[in-house]
Structure 1
Amino acid sequence: MIAAPFHAGERALQTLAGSREQMEEFGSRIIRDRMPEQHRAFFAQLPFLMVGSLDAELQPWASALAAPAGFMQSPDAAHLHVGALPAAGDPLAGQLKQGALLGLLGIEPHTRRRNRMNGTVESLDAGGFMVAVQQSFGNCPRYIQAREPVLAPVRGGEPPVQWLDKLDLAAHRLIGSADTLFIATAYPNEVAQGDEADASSHGVDVSHRGGRPGFVRIDGDDTLTVPDFNGNRFFNTLGNLAVHPRAGLLFIDFDSGDLLHLAVTAEIVWNGPEVEAFEGAERLMRFHVTHALRRPAALPLRWGDAALSPHLAGTGQWNTGMRALADGR
């Protein structure tokens, strides 16, 4: 167990939410510096892995790696070997080196299971890399859409990466219809000076967000607004954003395998009419896109139709009135 697993940003948000005392006790029991046996077995059965990384400019990026199930193996409770490497166009390719901080999310959408592991790259080889565990913990299944991935044949050649000066029509269509996104955030060592939390709380995190199709609102060419629903009260993502307001978003085209990576700056809308107007939202996250790249057919997985999470029944949708509120902010 880790005695002080939450950093200053996470603790501040837990205090605002009135959950600090509960999380102090609960977090130290749930967040471990080793992977339990069920987590080790879980990663080994997955055909893909979500990875959060941090570039030299302290910009987080979210990425995905895929290979036949079994490409991840845990030789012991303190390590996970990932038997895959990012393609040249993946932002992760530039960050993957010994000592790099990574956030890992193992997620099995069709069973709505997910487990998190944050750590450091201990070594690399020709086929993959070894991650040493810093923090390991499970996540609740809420807001995960049930869809099952199937490996697709790998095509010859690597489609060119498309850098976007602004979100184009294809990006708007993907984002505007999305029911799922992945978000990478960070608590870099450069931000953590003087924090009494355990050093394992420093680093990168990658997480899942889900909602009804269209839960991400697009304002203009470069601003996205996303409702934040009730969660586990750890505030890993929002705690990072509170002290380091930058994030990496990843949208997946589940039909084609296209990946859309976004580098964004972030702000949290704590309250007000916009929040109140969206049923189920406790707050909003607003993202301003600074960089975007599209990687066509980069993920060799295809999914069938999704069964939306039953927890979405109590959540709202964007409407014209909410857009008017946003325009008047």
Structure 2
Amino acid sequence: MPNEESNKPSNPDKNTGKFPYHQGELAAQDKAGTRGAASELAAGKRSALNFLANHDAFLAAQSFAAMTSVDLNTGNVWLTPLFAKAGDLSAVTENEIVISSQSIPDNDMLNTVESGTPFSLLGIDLNRRIRHRINGVALGFEESSFEENNGRGLHLQVNEYTPNCPKYINRREIILDANNVESINRRAKREERTSLTKEDQDFIQAMDTLWIGSYAPDIGADCNHRGGKPGFIRVTSPTTIEWPEYRGNGMFFTSGNLEVNDRAGVTVVDFETGSMIQMTGRALVDWDHDGRYEGASRAIVFHIERIVRTDNVTSHRWRRLDYSPYNPAILGKDSANSDSAIDDPSINGNERPIKATLVKIVEETETVKTFRFVVSHRIAFLPGQYASFEFNNIPGGAASEVRTWTLSETPNSLNGDNTLDISVKRVPNGLVTNWLHDHAELGLEVVLKGIQGEMTAITLDADTQTPLVPEQLLLLSAGIGITPNLAMVRGIGAFSLQDKTKVTMIHVERYQRHLLSHHELVRRSNNYPDFSYTNIITSEQGRLTKVQLEALVPNPKDQQAYVCGPASFMEQMTEYLASIGVPVANIHTEAFDF
């Protein structure tokens, strides 16, 4: 339901004085439990493009984009695909974009756009999985010198730029018409109606991508992308479709707008035939859906009021290269095509195994890499817990090797996540760790054996299931032992627990260059007054002494201490902590001895 309060947020960013999120977005973040994570991502929002980051070149190179516009007379929201040729999307300054009218297939949009019309442009590179979201208002149609045939250009004023995550983009490459014909077929067959025909329904349910536009009055429009495997969009009646909302960045631009205004536009494009169906109507977020979608904790239900179907609207064609590895399984489809126990969606809790696929590798330091795996079904875990993975046929090893690492990324862990990150340090004679560093490639499949562990300061209230954290928290680590403590710090931020605890984090590392996530931790300490971060570099300062520890730890008798690192480090730190007054019962350690 729309929020009756003002759409403008109440708390400006302390550094810029601007409002990063409006009330609808904040309400959606609160429902999903992502306000903390979203507040950290707000730093990526800009009020203009950045030519030094090649935003202008990116736009000019795109053959496809999507644009949301609002008919201010009716309130209808439309999502219009743009089928472009090189240069049809032009950033003339960091605050102004011009779109060639020759790339716009929708006559309705051409007729309703006027100066001041809210817009949102999503420039997307389908091959490289890159998308940029640009919001602002239309300045109107004007003659544009860069166009041929004296075409008109739609001038747009840029008010906000945000990079969007590449997850769920199904990768495609364009096949340009060999005869270099115009990208838009102005004689294309166009039909209008108020409900979906059987052919329309089949068209929609075969798609693996949709585009949704939304609008918050007095704030602006938004254009967004949703992807999945074919079948993720369901037609529930001739006037209703729905789809799952998979885990994203937690900022909730679309759902936030729908909290204050249910008007929306949805478009699906058949990239193989160049046909499209555009719909305008009303949408609502089903926050408590019945679990009918794997990998999603909510769904969007869209009620159609008007449909425009245009067949063969563009000469462009795209070839699908692969599906996003993040796409969850489609229940009733993917599971039906598999006879493997590791794909069984009935497996849950500690009943494993589950197949995990490597989708991303990040080199953190010269000795540590982070490996991101996806599983087909959401799994809930607490920050600081660890996962056990089984590797088969590693050269020099047994037929099966099981290794355990802390899950280092936690924004959606309490609600269940299908992405699992582990940060792995290269170690001398480490069979699996060194093989991962040297030979692991995207697409690698391993078996997730289980997730468990007691090395976590974040618990759930037995009655309300809300996250709890100690009032005084000491996180003490050495080397790669930082990972559970880092996961807890990220969890505290993601679950908005910063004002409920005072965190003292101390990390010991041999060399400065080996510090993991150092800039992130410095930023967190600067942003949150109750978070203290100290690192000790032993090659320069020597080992952490009891005297130093005592000076760094406030109120030792009230601390809940979590210590992780080499066995000798944990043993010595436990003795130090007990001697300075931390109750032994409050000192928690964990070693992977299996």
Compared with structure 1, are the counterparts of its residues 104 and 203 closer, same or farther at alpha carbon in structure 2 (3 Å cutoff)? same
d(CA) in 2 for partners of 1:222 and 1:84? 31
> Which of 21, 26, 32 matches 1:11?
26
Give the conservation status (yes or no) of the 8 Å contact 1:207–1:237.
yes
Give the conservation status (yes or no) of the 8 Å contact 1:215–1:318.
no
How far off is 1:58 after superposition? 1.1
User: How many pairs align?
Assistant: 303
| Structure ID, larger Rg | 2
> Which of 64, 68, 82 matches 1:52?
68
> Which of 117, 131, 134 matches 1:100?
117
Q: Which runs of 5+ in 2 are unaligned?
A: 1-15, 144-151, 334-594
Q: Give matches, 1:220-235, under 5 Å.
A: 220-235=237-252
Aligned residue identity for 2:94: A
Q: Which has the higher contact order (CA 8 A, sep 6+)?
A: 1
Corresponding residue for residue 199 of structure 1: none
Report the identity percentage: 29
Cα deviations by residue, 1:268-314 (Å, 9 ceiling, x for unpaired) = 11114x2x2321012011111111011122233101134100001x4
Give the conservation status (yes or no) of the 8 Å contact 2:35–2:251.
no
Range moving further from structure 2, 145-154 or 253-262? 145-154
Question: 1:300 is paired with a residue of what secondary structure?
Answer: coil
d(CA) in 1 for partners of 2:298 and 2:133? 23
How far off is 1:91 after superposition? 3.1
Compared with structure 1, are the counterparts of its residues 119 and 157 closer, same or farther at alpha carbon in structure 2 (3 Å cutoff)? closer
2:312 pairs with 1:283: no
Corresponding residue for residue 31 of structure 1: 45
Corresponding residue for residue 154 of structure 2: 129
Corresponding residue for residue 311 of structure 2: 296
2:87 pairs with 1:70: yes
d(CA) in 2 for partners of 1:278 and 1:156? 37
d(CA) in 2 for partners of 1:90 and 1:169? 26
Corresponding residue for residue 217 of structure 2: 188
Give the conservation status (yes or no) of the 8 Å contact 1:181–1:250.
yes
Question: 1:171 is paired with a residue of what secondary structure?
Answer: helix
d(CA) in 1 for partners of 2:311 and 2:237? 24
Give the conservation status (yes or no) of the 8 Å contact 1:81–1:129.
yes
Compared with structure 1, are the counterparts of its residues 106 and 156 closer, same or farther at alpha carbon in structure 2 (3 Å cutoff)? closer
> Which of 164, 168, 172 matches 1:143?
168
Give the conservation status (yes or no) of the 8 Å contact 1:63–1:91.
no
Cα deviations by residue, 1:253-281 (Å, 9 ceiling, x for unpaired) = 11221111011211211114x2x232101
TM-score when normalising by structure 1: 0.86
Question: 2:138 is paired with a residue of what secondary structure?
Answer: strand
d(CA) in 1 for partners of 2:254 and 2:104? 26
d(CA) in 1 for partners of 2:113 and 2:17? 26
TM-score when normalising by structure 2: 0.49
2:183 pairs with 1:163: no
Cα deviations by residue, 1:235-256 (Å, 9 ceiling, x for unpaired) = 0000011111121111111122
Give the conservation status (yes or no) of the 8 Å contact 2:116–2:138.
yes
Question: 2:296 is paired with a residue of what secondary structure?
Answer: coil
d(CA) in 2 for partners of 1:122 and 1:8? 27
Q: List structure 1 segments (4+ residues) > 6 angstroms apart after TM superposition.
A: none
